[in-house]
């Protein structure tokens, strides 16, 4: 079984400052990794995903994440945040083998961008 730990439940950051949202996972098999964003009162939207290949993955809205297998991490970064980035961010993992394509989610990190 796999699990996901998001190390910060809340992250306040000033507008135009950089941000990093941390995610660690545990799994005994190969995994695929995802970051989803949830804006207030909305469903989840995929930001980016790591399936294989380059460990640096670029997503929508200027976000990127780096897969680090040795540290079992998949941290999300943005060099300069905007007010509109205020949302909750979820890291998720699933095993790369065939199956039901189930995702295991972290508990989420609330990003608050301060003007």
| Residues that bind another protein in the complex, under the rule CB under 8 A | 4, 6, 9, 32, 34, 36, 41-46, 49, 51, 90, 100-103, 105-108
Q: Which is nearer to another protein, 17 or 51 (CB)?
A: 51
- Name residues whose C-beta falls within 8 Å of residue 43's C-beta, 6 or more positions apart in sequence: none
Q: Which is nearer to another protein, 70 or 100 (CB)?
A: 100
C-beta of 30: minimal distance to another protein in Å? Answer: 13
CB of 80 to another protein, least distance (A): 26
Q: Is 2 helix (H, G, I), strand (E, B) or coil?
A: coil
DSSP secondary structure letter of residue 82: -
Least separation in angstroms between CB 45 and another protein: 7
Tell me whether residue 70 or residue 101 sits nearer to another protein (CB atom).
Answer: 101
β-bridge mates for residue 113, sequence order: 13
Query: From the CB of 16, what's the least distance to another protein, in Å?
Result: 28
DSSP 3-state of 101: coil
Give the whole-angstrom CA distance, residue 78 versus residue 99: 33
Nearer to another protein, 51 or 114 (CB): 51
Three-state SS annotation for 48-73: EEECCCCCEEECHHHCEEEEECCCCE
């Amino acid at each position: 079984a796999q699990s996901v730990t998001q190390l910060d439940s809340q992250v306040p950051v000033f507008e135009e400052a950089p941000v990093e949202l941390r995610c660690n996972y545990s799994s005994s098999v190969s995994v695929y990794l995802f970051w989803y964003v949830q804006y207030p009162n909305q469903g989840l939207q995929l930001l980016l995903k790591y399936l294989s290949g380059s460990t640096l993955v670029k997503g929508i809205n200027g976000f990127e994440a780096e897969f680090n297998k040795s540290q079992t991490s998949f941290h999300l970064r943005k060099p300069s945040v905007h007010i509109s980035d205020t949302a909750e961010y979820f890291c998720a993992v699933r095993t790369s083998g065939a199956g039901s394509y189930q995702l295991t989610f972290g508990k989420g990190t609330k990003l608050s961008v301060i003007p």
